[in-house]
Amino acid sequence: MSKFIHFNGKILPADAPLVSAGNRGLRYGDGLFETMRVVNGRIVLQDLHFDRLFHGLSVLQFQCPPLFTPQYLADAILALCHKMAIHQAARVRLNIVRGNGGLYDPENHAPQVIMEAWPLDVPPGLHENGLVIDIYDQARKHFDVLANIKSNNYLPYVLAALYAKQHRLNDCLLLNTEGRICDATIANVFWIKDSRLFTPPLSEAGVGGVMRRYLVENTAGQYPVHEEPLTPGMLEQADELFLTNAIQGIKWVGRYKEKAYGNKLTSLLYDQYIKRLWV
């Protein structure tokens, strides 16, 4: 399969040089990214992705031209998938950076766009054996305007992912500056206690995940999500634990330290709310 990328409105070979050494995305992490699942020519949870993206662009004070719209980006994503002959399922990474310049003198504030796409073979499931996770506590997330956006400055998650790989874990949970759990390296966290569903509020400094938002908004009638702070000690008391993101949907956690979890309600949530997204 030929490999291509999208760069500022053009589809180019994947190995084409794109940015200079003066790019602010390289220098300062000045940008945002979205990772999306495309299924049969449809971007799963498209509106939620672009709502988060454009909120982040506003927070970072990008100046978007009139034609830079969610529809423009959606059309470009599907065009890239078509060019790469990915007709069933794809993982797409949309990266937006500000461009060249120093810290005080950017050449402009317009977004530069880089898109990549990879084929996906099968719809994701719950993870048959359950994830094995732990907590990474060497980098803490702050309660600030950047906490909920998917910025290119992703170092706490990078370090947590390295820790997970070194210790043969499937993922790691991250803490905020108060020592409470905010999210995981590539996912939001939910827990179940006495058949009640919980997740940390975004005020706890986690990324505002689109799958998290989808569940909060769509399970309210049957399984309302209670947004409450989560401490490491509470993990030992939970009955079930699962992680969510836009590519994998729900992944249940089988073990945290010596604590083992079931997945009865997690499986019901997956069957009722997630499976239909992959069709």
* pLDDT of the residue at 1: 58
Contacts of 223 (CB under 8 A, 6+ apart): 197, 265, 269
Task: Answer whether residue 126 is part of any domain.
Answer: no
* pLDDT of the residue at 2: 67
CATH number for the domain spanning 225: value is 3.20.10.10
* Residue 29 pLDDT > 90: yes
Calculate what percentage of the chain has a pLDDT beyond 90: 89
Residues 249 and 142 in one domain: yes
| Domain limits for position 195 | 131-278
Residues 166 and 97 in one domain: no
* Residue 148 pLDDT > 90: yes
The least confident of 125-134, 165-174, 262-271 is: 125-134
Q: pLDDT by residue (tens digit) across 187-243?
A: 999 999 999 999 999 999 999 999 999 999 999 989 999 999 999 999 999 999 999
* pLDDT of the residue at 124: 82
Q: pLDDT by residue (tens digit) across 44-99?
A: 999 999 999 999 999 999 999 999 999 999 999 999 999 999 989 999 999 999 98
- DSSP β-bridge partners for residue 175: 140, 181
Q: What is the arithmetic mean of pLDDT over 123-138?
A: 90
Last residue of a domain, one of 119, 147, 182: 119
Residue 24's closest CA among 84, 95, 80? 95
Residues 111 and 170 in one domain: no
How many domains, the chain?
2
Residues 135 and 259 in one domain: yes
* pLDDT of the residue at 269: 96
pTM of the predicted structure, to 2 decimals = 0.95
Task: Answer whether residue 124 is part of any domain.
Answer: no
* Residue 127 pLDDT > 80: no
**Mean per-residue pLDDT of the chain:** 95
Last residue of a domain, one of 119, 144, 179: 119
* pLDDT of the residue at 197: 98
* pLDDT of the residue at 128: 78
Task: Answer whether residue 199 is part of any domain.
Answer: yes
- What angle separates helix 46-59 from helix 210-218, to the nearest 10 degrees? 120
Residues 90 and 189 in one domain: no
Last residue of a domain, one of 86, 119, 152: 119
How is residue 139 written in tokens? 């980098």
Residues 72 and 115 in one domain: yes
* Residue 147 pLDDT > 70: yes
Task: Answer whether residue 125 is part of any domain.
Answer: no
